[in-house]
Structure 1
Amino acid sequence: MTLERVYKMIFADVYPLLVAKAERKGRTKDEVDTLIYWLTGYDAAGLHAQLEMRVDTQTFYTEAPQINTNARKITGVICGCRVEEITDPIYQKVRWLDKLVDELAKGKAMEKILRK
């Protein structure tokens, strides 16, 4: 998949997939939301607004209020990519969220996922 195609994906279409992945493993939508808030700085109203406006993925991350400074601590492989080695900043944020949700689905404790 090209970066342009990833950028143009509507975040509101991706979001239910992230929630479903977590819920299949006994986790909750609220936990996924917590990960999104932590990573992007959106609050509940901000996330809801972005979902309602059906912004693309690039806009979602570009307009994020504040990417968490501890996001750089997210490491590992997701979809065959080492997230810490991704050079494109938007694509790296996409993969960071994928990695966080993956860790959630694997049963990792929230305080460890959030790298506090």
Structure 2
Amino acid sequence: MALEQLPVDDRAADCIDNCFEAAQACEWCADECAGEGEGMARCLRLCRDVADVATTHARFMARSSNYSPELAEVCAGACEECAEECERHDAEHCQVCADVLRRCAESCRDMMTA
């Protein structure tokens, strides 16, 4: 079944896509940061947090959970904090991750009122 066929509206489907994309970008970024030394520890930790919360939020949205608005707020906040950290680093993976996280945060903020 394609995502377009799931029983969620277009905003939720977009947010689910953005959350999974954020999780993927964060896993990549965290893995790259792990090989770059101690100065990347905060970035790595935040990326791991976002990967976990974003996938959880996507799963809750897919099943139309009543807790989704609260998770949307947590996910947006985590994405924004992690994006700020990633933007401090010149590495390509951090810059790509920050861009993806900004989109995810925006769609999660939109879901807070859904």
TM-score (norm 2): 0.33
Q: Larger % of helix: which?
A: 2
Which protein shows a greater Rg? 2
TM-score (norm 1): 0.33
